[in-house]
Amino acid sequence: MKIPVTVLTGYLGAGKTTLLRRMLANPGGKQFAVIVNEFAELGIDSELIESSDEQVIQLSNGCLCCSVRGDLLRSLELLVQKGGFDALIIETTGLANPAPIAQTFMLDDDLNDELILDSVVCVVDGAHIQGYWKRHPEIVHQLAFADTVVLNKAELLSGSKAQLVEDLLRRLSPRAELIRTSHCDLDVLALAGRAAYSLDDTRFDAALPQTPVLLHRHDDEVVSVSLATDRDVVPDRFMKFIQTLQQAYGEDLLRYKGVLSLTNEPRRFVFQGVQAMADGDVQRRWADDEPRASKLVFIGRNLDAQALRTSFEACLR
């Protein structure tokens, strides 16, 4: 069985380390390994290291998504070789973009044999998110990749402001589970077993749209576009469609996933992508009493919903 990896992300001061401490204090029978990334040269809180029996690797003076990404890969390889753990937590800096971290797991076949990216948890500073998110694009990226959003410092929000903040987070991360908390005091066991980056089509079904076309506006740039059809998809046309999107939008194509009914294929095709990296595979057969249908979700900056729909329709038989 593959070892699940949880990525803790969130802007500076949101409460990531507090949540990490809570996860280590309530391991639920798991033996954790931890990779903590600090942007500055200073190490992580000594209390965290001294009070923990887990294997802890500190990556300092750089960010996992750029200057120390190679260190992350080497650290993962080292941990796999040593063994002795059955779950891994990666805490990023507050400035990290989760995309390259997710791509690391998609790129390395050897790591994929041992580790699986289980969840991206974004911790949000509820007291400051409204003033931060437009000035700090890192927050938008962190929320776009999250499958779980922890709204921290909820005790500082009045009833009306709390609703405004929750509405904002649901626009920025429309498919993530939202958990309100104070001081990251929550059932940390609920953060495990998410399989958000697994090609398990049963989990994909729960996350994908049930209506033909939805457009969720995040701000003036970031949107979530959902598409669905009961017609079969022609594989070659669909691959060209994805390649065209990757070339046209580049890093602005943040995250995408789908379940497809392909022509001349009795099995469901499940795929996901992070910017220019995509992965997919055929899964179980379509049941006799199950309607064949295709459902897709795209999250990115300046996505043209109508153009996406038109280009996708050209892939249909």
Domain boundary among 189, 208, 225: 189
How many structural domains comprise the chain?
Answer: 2
Do residues 141 and 247 share a domain? no
Distance CA 294, CA 232 (A): 7
Do residues 182 and 232 share a domain? no
Would you say residue 164 lies in a domain? yes
Do residues 160 and 210 share a domain? no
Residue 1, CB-side half-sphere exposure with 13 Å CA sphere: 9
Do residues 179 and 279 share a domain? no
Would you say residue 140 lies in a domain? yes
Residue 94, CB-side half-sphere exposure with 13 Å CA sphere: 14
pLDDT at position 71, please? 75
Do residues 81 and 224 share a domain? no
Domain that holds residue 244: 200-313
Would you say residue 195 lies in a domain? no
What is the rounded (10 degree) CA torsion for 75, 76, 82, 85?
120
Which residue type is seen at 51?
A: S
Would you say residue 194 lies in a domain? no
pLDDT higher than threshold 50 for residue 41? no
Do residues 164 and 54 share a domain? yes
Helices (H), 8-97: 16-25, 46-50, 69-82
Per-residue pLDDT of 5-30, as tens digits, reads 999 999 888 988 889 989 988 888 88
Do residues 82 and 154 share a domain? yes
Do residues 224 and 156 share a domain? no
Domain boundary among 127, 155, 189: 189
Do residues 101 and 27 share a domain? yes
Edge-to-edge, what's the strand order for the sheet holding 148-152? Answer: 55-59, 32-37, 87-91, 3-9, 115-125, 148-152, 177-180
The encoded tokens of residue 317 equal 């038989």
Q: Return phi, psi of residue 28, to 5°.
A: 60, 35
Do residues 240 and 261 share a domain? yes
Give the pTM.
0.72
Selected residue with higher pLDDT from 9 and 92: 9
Domain boundary among 189, 217, 244: 189
CA-wise closest residue to 140 among 63, 61, 220: 220
CATH code: domain of residue 18: 3.40.50.300
CATH code: domain of residue 295: 3.30.1220.10
Q: 35 has which bridge partners?
A: 57, 90
The encoded tokens of residue 163 equal 């609703």
Do residues 206 and 177 share a domain? no
Residue 41 CB burial class (10 angstroms; 0-12, 13-18, ≥19): exposed
Q: How confident is the model at residue 136 (pLDDT cuts 50, 70, 90)?
A: confident
Would you say residue 145 lies in a domain? yes
Would you say residue 48 lies in a domain? yes
Per-residue pLDDT of 237-287, as tens digits, reads 999 999 999 999 987 887 788 899 999 999 999 888 878 888 888 988 999
Q: 298 has which bridge partners?
A: 225, 256
| Contact predicate 179/166, CB 8 Å | no
Do residues 155 and 277 share a domain? no
Place of tokens 């795929």: 271
Strands 213-217 vs 177-180: parallel, antiparallel or unpaired: unpaired
Per-residue pLDDT of 223-244, as tens digits, reads 778 899 999 999 999 999 999 9
